[in-house]
Chain A
Amino acid sequence: MPKKTYRQAINEALRQEMERDPRVILMGEDVAGGMGSPGEDDAWGGPLGVTKGLMPRFGRERVLDTPITESAFIGAAVGAAATGLRPVAELMFVDFFGVCFDQIFNQAAKFRYMFGGKAKTPVVIRTMYGAGFRAASQHSQCLYPIFTHIPGLKVALPSNAYEAKGLLIQAIRDDDPVIFFEHKAMYDEEAEVPDEPYVIPFGEANLTREGDDVTVVAMGRMVNFANQVADKLAKEKIGVTVVDIRTTSPLDTETILETASETGRVVVVDESHPRCSMASDIAALVAQECFSDLKAPVKMVTAPHAPVPFSPALEDLYIPSPAKIEAAVREVLAFKG
């Protein structure tokens, strides 16, 4: 199977869905780039080149550069979705949701319920998240727990290039609003990705490693860190199951609880802050539903309750690392009740 980067996988999913369905359009700041400028057209393809090549293929009518006006264009994507298009809007960094959240959580998320099941809003909002880029407090946040909190939104966090393609195609074909989180530190990471289109259904977790001793539940980039730890501990004959939840909403509670019951020792790894996080959400779920199977308290590995610092010296301490995950796994293993 051909190897492709996370970036290529996303670009390919967009291209194939635009080829399949003329109602799929893209919009965002510099998603093509060069609008009105004298030099190269399609000069950017987004700040990290993810959508490059799509405008020359589909034209400016279907790949729309926008002014810097998120409230208006994210809202326009929502309105277009409610009226017959299937827009994929790019919110460059998820941190910018602050200037357009109303259109997402009061409009897109609520239409179907408020209108008694009559509305469909098949919009996808692609957005970059995550620390590690030395991008400081306003360009490094995770924030997916905030979106997960809102009924009516679906939230996907692909953990590698294969996942990215399948989850994005599912997101575009899905009739509900989907927030699609791309980790900015993963665009150059490669995985085997089929050339043909495929979907990964939402709400179906994936076991990336299987072992009998500890269950590590993770999402997004943290899945890779968890896998590294599982591989390292396997050499010591410690068996770690890694659950990639893939989507935080819907959440595959069944797989989480099943694996938690099997090992009885659970670590949840979440790159966001600890309060009201996926980590606290999943820890509470496990504590409520399989208390009697647990051999140790659930352990959370998260970023601290602090903004993301700029200085590399601080940011490296900030991000949940494989070393911290490994320590947590050893801690739940060592627990004697």
Chain B
Amino acid sequence: MQLSREELIHAYRQMRTIRAFEDRVHEEFAAGNIPGFVHLYAGEEASAVGFCMHLTDVDRIASTHRGHGHCIAKGCDVKAMMAEIFGKKDGLCGGKGGSMHIADLEKGMMGANGIVGGGPPLICGAALTAKTLGTGGVAIAFVGDGGSNQGTTLESYNLAKVWNLPAIFVIEDNGYAESTASSWSVAGSQVGRAAGFGMPGYEVDGHDFFAVHEVAREVIDRARKGGGPSLVHVRFTRYYGHFEGDAMTYRGKDEVPRIAAERDCLKLFRQRVVEAALLEPETLDAIDREVVAYIDRVTNEAKAAPMPTEADLLTDVYVSYH
């Protein structure tokens, strides 16, 4: 189905924002300005945006440790995200969560997750809420190739199917779980696993925004109409290390530069819309400039923002404790 000009611009801006955000976090981490564990989503943008463009705030997603892209695509405030990554008081979680735990429940973003396989069961619950309350919402678990092997993930397929939940499992296969190749760690195939649980399964080229967007529309429509869960196996690569600081010696020599040159989702998107005369190069260039300036601004603001204080240490443990 043809996307409108506004939708195309939105998609490109979102993907560009994720890329610029991740590139900047990479730089800031390398400069020693960001503490902790940081996992970047650069190279995978088409998946988060391709799915989340079909969603509104009633729809829920659960993310992974590599969560910045899902957060941005689901509408989290980018400035508050950056402040969170710097551990600041006006971060999206008050500085208590950091990169691995960014969440905005009002936007339907149930959190990045430090536990591999943490998301799929939660998404069964979110889908149950949608079904029980009749909100018309769907719930999507983004899961890595490594996370696809976790028991919690496989159990969730079964539960989603037997309860006929409006749940979708998106297996984001970037080729590796840490240094372990998915070609080794995953027995059978993702689509075959879906079939084993009686769910429709799809494989899609994750560098191609339009392919992801189309499959996403189909599975989300099905879930919304009460047709139950589906699984989508999205294939692409990550540009940076497993976490920042990973030397990536396990990768092929020019694996990343080759894919970035030939299959980058932003480049493919641009090529496609310019060739089809849907958007002009100047329009895209302007978005690029705006986004980079915006990320620069929110980063500088995040750096200048105040840290939380001792008064914040023991708040938020419970709603009430008596």
Chain A interfacial positions (CB closer than 8 Å to B): 29-30, 33-41, 43-44, 47, 65, 67-72, 95-96, 98-99, 133-139, 304-307, 309-314, 317-318
Docked complex Cα distance between A138 and B97 (Å): 9
**B260: CB under 8 A from chain A?**
no
**B31: CB under 8 A from chain A?**
no
Docked complex Cα distance between A35 and B176 (Å): 10
Residue of A nearest to B180 (CB): A35
Q: Which residues of A contact B253 (CB under 8 A)?
A: 39
Q: Which residues of A contact B147 (CB under 8 A)?
A: 68
Given A99-B151, A311-B96, CB of A36 within 8 Å of CB of B184: yes
Partner of A304, one of B180, B184, B251, B313: B313
In chain B, positions 289-322 with a C-beta closer than 8 Å to chain A are 307-310, 312-314, 317
In the assembled complex, the CB of B252 is this many whole angstroms from the nearest CB of chain A, namely 4
Given A67-B185, A68-B116, A72-B151, CB of A37 within 8 Å of CB of B176: yes
Q: Which residues of A contact B252 (CB under 8 A)?
A: 38-39
Inter-chain contact B98/A43, CB cutoff 8 Å: no
The 0/1 profile, CB within 8 Å of A marked 1, for residues 247-281 of chain B is 01111110100000000000000000000000000
In chain B, positions 66-124 with a C-beta closer than 8 Å to chain A are 87-89, 91, 93, 95-98, 100-101, 113-117
Sort A-B residue pairs by CB-CB distance and give the 9 closest, nearest first. A36-B184, A310-B98, A138-B114, A36-B181, A311-B87, A311-B95, A134-B35, A134-B36, A313-B307
Q: Which residues of B contact A38 (CB under 8 A)?
A: 181, 250-252, 255
Partner of A68, one of B114, B177, B317: B177
Docked complex Cα distance between A309 and B182 (Å): 32
Partner of A98, one of B35, B115, B182: B115
In the assembled complex, the CB of A63 is this many whole angstroms from the nearest CB of chain B, namely 13
Partner of B37, one of A70, A95, A135: A135
Inter-chain contact A137/B97, CB cutoff 8 Å: yes
How many residues does chain B have at the interface if contact means C-beta atoms less than 8 Å apart?
Answer: 51
Given A68-B149, A311-B88, CB of A36 within 8 Å of CB of B185: yes
Partner of B35, one of A68, A307, A312, A318: A312
**B152: CB under 8 A from chain A?**
yes
Q: Which residues of A contact B179 (CB under 8 A)?
A: 30, 33-35, 37, 43-44
Inter-chain contact B117/A133, CB cutoff 8 Å: no
Residue of B nearest to A304 (CB): B314
Q: Which residues of B contact A68 (CB under 8 A)?
A: 116-117, 146-147, 149-150, 177, 185
Residue of A nearest to B177 (CB): A68
Docked complex Cα distance between A70 and B37 (Å): 21
In chain B, positions 135-173 with a C-beta closer than 8 Å to chain A are 146-147, 149-152
Inter-chain contact B115/A138, CB cutoff 8 Å: yes
Q: Which residues of A contact B151 (CB under 8 A)?
A: 69, 71-72, 99
Q: Which residues of B contact A307 (CB under 8 A)?
A: 96, 317
Partner of A37, one of B36, B87, B150, B251: B251
